[in-house]
């Protein structure tokens, strides 16, 4: 509830937030702070409840206390991340929840442990309004970037490729990405050169490179790039080679977006 005397400190779009915190005082303060920032939130008092609530509701952001009785914040995060991996493995579209650790900044609450458990951000306790707002803005920016990335590279295909990993062996997804990022610019150059030369081999070279790039882009879930390569191939097959040039340029721009997304995927 926001009144004229108590305006929201942020006009950010409301998101679904869960507060997992065992101290009722800290819980109430966090809920009030979120309300002030224009967000409605739910609250639970331990990690087990946090996992169950997230399974039911699918929150965008969880503010997770690290040390709670029973299932701790670390364990709850680990369980949530495992649920996400399982869903991805079954081909379901997974929305990764952004988990912000609320730490008392002591030895028992260390940040490395938070990161290892799968948490994305940190905030010190007692939580200050400005610090909370900054953490939420960071979380939302990260989620927006993730959404944009999903539009460029299909997350279901990436999740499927993740499943090919074998213990003690190089990650095949990383190898595939590296190979793709080496080969794709060369294939686009082949198309540009072939069109520019406009000789007897131009048509077959353009079609060959477009077909190859369409296949490798499709294998990595780069749908837009694959579609553009298909368009280049179809246009070339109608002998309209000059018309492929703007398409090749668009494919270069799309490849730049794909590169950013794939580098991010590689970085975990």
DSSP state of 14: P
Contact 211, 253 (CB under 8 A): no
Q: Identify the burial level of 199 via C-beta atoms within 10 angstroms of its C-beta, where 0-12 means exposed, 13-18 middle and 19 or more buried.
A: exposed
Hey, what are 129's tokens?
A: 């309004």
CB-wise, 44 or 88, nearer to other proteins? 44
- The 109-148 contact track toward other proteins, x by CB under 8 A, reads ----------------xxxxx-------------------
Pick one of 56, 108, 182, 200: the residue that binds other proteins (CB under 8 A): 108
- How far is CA 46 from each of CA 70, 79, 134, 171, 205, rounded to the nearest angstrom? 7, 13, 25, 36, 62
Q: How many CB atoms lie within 10 A of CB 102?
A: 27
Q: How far is CA 235 from the centre of its chain?
A: 34
In the complex, the smallest distance separating the C-beta of residue 137 from other proteins, rounded to whole angstroms, is 19
Contact 66, 101 (CB under 8 A): yes
> What is d(CA 260, CA 128) in angstroms, rounded to the nearest whole number?
34
Q: Does 33 bind other proteins (CB under 8 A)?
A: yes
Pick one of 19, 26, 139, 149: the residue that binds other proteins (CB under 8 A): 26
In the complex, the smallest distance separating the C-beta of residue 5 from other proteins, rounded to whole angstroms, is 8
In the complex, the smallest distance separating the C-beta of residue 134 from other proteins, rounded to whole angstroms, is 16
In the complex, the smallest distance separating the C-beta of residue 27 from other proteins, rounded to whole angstroms, is 10
CB-wise, 10 or 192, nearer to other proteins? 10
Q: Under rule CB under 8 A, which residues in 55-74 are in contact with other proteins?
A: 67, 69
Q: Does 49 bind other proteins (CB under 8 A)?
A: no
In the complex, the smallest distance separating the C-beta of residue 164 from other proteins, rounded to whole angstroms, is 42
Pick one of 28, 163, 204, 219: the residue that binds other proteins (CB under 8 A): 28
> What is d(CA 57, CA 247) in angstroms, rounded to the nearest whole number?
43
Dmax over CA atoms of the chain, in Å, equals: 78
User: By CB under 8 A, how many residues form the interface with other proteins?
Assistant: 22
Write out the residues near other proteins by the rule CB under 8 A.
Answer: 6, 22-26, 28-29, 32-33, 36, 67, 69, 104, 106-108, 125-129
């Amino acid at each position: 509830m926001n009144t004229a005397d108590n305006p929201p400190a942020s006009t950010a779009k409301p998101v679904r937030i869960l507060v997992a915190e065992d101290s009722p005082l800290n819980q109430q303060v966090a809920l009030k702070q979120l309300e002030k920032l224009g967000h409605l939130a739910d609250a639970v008092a331990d990690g087990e409840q946090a996992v169950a609530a997230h399974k039911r509701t699918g929150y965008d952001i969880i503010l997770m206390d690290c040390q709670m009785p029973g299932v701790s914040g670390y364990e709850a995060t680990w369980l949530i991340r495992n649920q996400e991996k399982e869903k991805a493995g079954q081909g379901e579209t997974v929305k990764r929840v952004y988990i912000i650790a609320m730490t008392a900044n002591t030895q028992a609450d260390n940040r490395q442990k938070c990161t290892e458990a799968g948490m994305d951000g940190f905030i010190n306790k007692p939580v200050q309004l400005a610090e909370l707002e900054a953490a939420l803005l960071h979380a939302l920016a990260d989620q927006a970037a993730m959404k944009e990335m999903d539009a460029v590279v299909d997350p279901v295909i990436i999740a499927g490729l993740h499943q090919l990993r074998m213990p003690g062996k190089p990650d095949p997804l990383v190898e595939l990405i590296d190979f793709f990022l080496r080969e794709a610019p060369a294939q686009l150059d082949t198309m540009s050169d072939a069109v520019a030369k406009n000789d007897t081999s131009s048509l077959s070279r353009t079609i060959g490179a477009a077909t190859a790039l369409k296949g490798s882009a499709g294998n990595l879930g780069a749908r837009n790039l694959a579609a553009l390569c298909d368009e280049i191939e179809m246009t070339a097959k109608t002998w309209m080679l000059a018309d492929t040039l703007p398409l090749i340029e668009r494919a270069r721009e799309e490849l730049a977006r794909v590169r950013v997304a794939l580098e991010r995927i590689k970085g975990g």
